[in-house]
Structure 1
Amino acid sequence: MFIDILFTILFSVSPLGEARVGIPYGILNGVPPVLAFLSGLAANLLVFPIMHTIVKAFDQRMWKYSLYKKQSVRLSRRAKNIVGSSIEKYGFWGLMIFVMIPLPVTGAYMGSIAAILFKIPPKRAFSAISLGVIISCSIVTLGAYFGNLGIQLI
């Protein structure tokens, strides 16, 4: 069971699925739902502090290179097209809702990038992203738990 908890944590902190993959993985592999929720949530809450620190440090060092600057601007435009209207219009709540929706291209990673792009103060961004992650993890846990329960009944 330790290995399943470890994979739950690793999937939940990875950008390839976040807690949307980690929590169902844990539940479907026998990790108690509360433990899968807590480990997935804790791992996914680490995303913003890690991303914020890495992106800020990397950006300061690399901005002087034209290739980096060009790619950074391209990524920024793409991210603003994806999340821009809701975050510009609703601010904190827009960011929280964007992170909360358990769909591809939403979540803590893209929310962290959006918070940096829209210059949302780190404490406020962390609060919005954390609230969104908590709600998203709750939705995913309930879906995975009841889905697994349905599979077992068949």
Structure 2
Amino acid sequence: MLWSLSPFGEAKVGIPYGMYNGLNIYLVFILCFASNVLVFPIMLFFLNKVNHYLLKWRVYKKGAIFVARKAKTGSGDKIKKYGFWGLIFFVMLPVPGTGVYAGTIATYLFKIERKKAFLANVIGIFFSSVIVWVVTYLAMQGMA
């Protein structure tokens, strides 16, 4: 669950970690998925409340500006163009740099309606988790 809450792996790391350590594969999926979903409201709270105060620190501000620029240039155009569906696809990709953390930052930066953004993130997390779960299961069975 902790890997799924972490920005260093999300469910993309939590699911394989739990499965390879002999935990119930269905319980791993449910807990990692649920933990990853919790990231959205936590991150949005941070961005709306805490971020404002931290921007007063030069080091933090430089990092925040760097992340915002990467988000806007990397996938921002596609998310803006395709909206809800673009956000689902972006969060769904099980590759580094995508996921609920990036999806939440995109929601904040592009001022996407929160209810729609939450739903898009949940759908994206679900499909990403399914992809990782299936690939990990097949690898454990020697099929991948």
Q: Same fold (TM over 0.5)?
A: yes
Q: Which of 122, 127, 146 is matched with 2:114 structurally?
A: 122
Q: Distance in 2 between matches of 1:41 and 1:62?
A: 29
Task: Tell me whether 1:90 sits opposite 2:82 in the alignment.
Answer: yes
Cα distance in 2, alignment partners of residues 71 and 11 from structure 1: 23
CA offset at residue 140 of structure 1?
Answer: 0.6
Q: Which has the larger radius of gyration?
A: 1
Following superposition, the deviation at residue 66 of structure 1 comes to 7.0
Letter in 2 for 1:50: I
Q: CA RMSD in A?
A: 1.5
Is 1:112 the counterpart of 2:94? The answer is no
Q: Which stretches of structure 1, 4 residues or longer, exceed 6 Å deviation after superposition?
A: none
Q: What's the secondary structure of 2:95's corresponding residue?
A: coil
Which residue of 2 is the match for residue 59 of structure 1?
51
Q: Which runs of 5+ in 1 are unaligned?
A: 1-8
1:132 equivalenced with 2:132 (yes/no): no
Query: Residue type of the partner of 1:45?
Result: V
Partner of residue 8 from structure 2, selected from 16, 19, 41 = 16
For 1:25, the equivalent position in structure 2 comes to: 17
Question: Separation in 1 of the partners of 2:67 and 2:138?
Answer: 38
**Length-normalised TM-score, structure 1:** 0.86
Task: State, as a whole percentage, how many aligned pairs show the same letter.
Answer: 46
- How far does residue 73 in structure 1 lie from its aligned partner after superposition? 3.1
Name stretches of at least 5 consecutive residues in structure 2 with no aligned partner. none
Identify which of 60, 71, 76 aligns with 2:68.
76
Aligned residues: 142
**TM-score of the superposition, structure 2-length normalised?**
0.92
Aligned amino acid, residue 90 of structure 2 = F
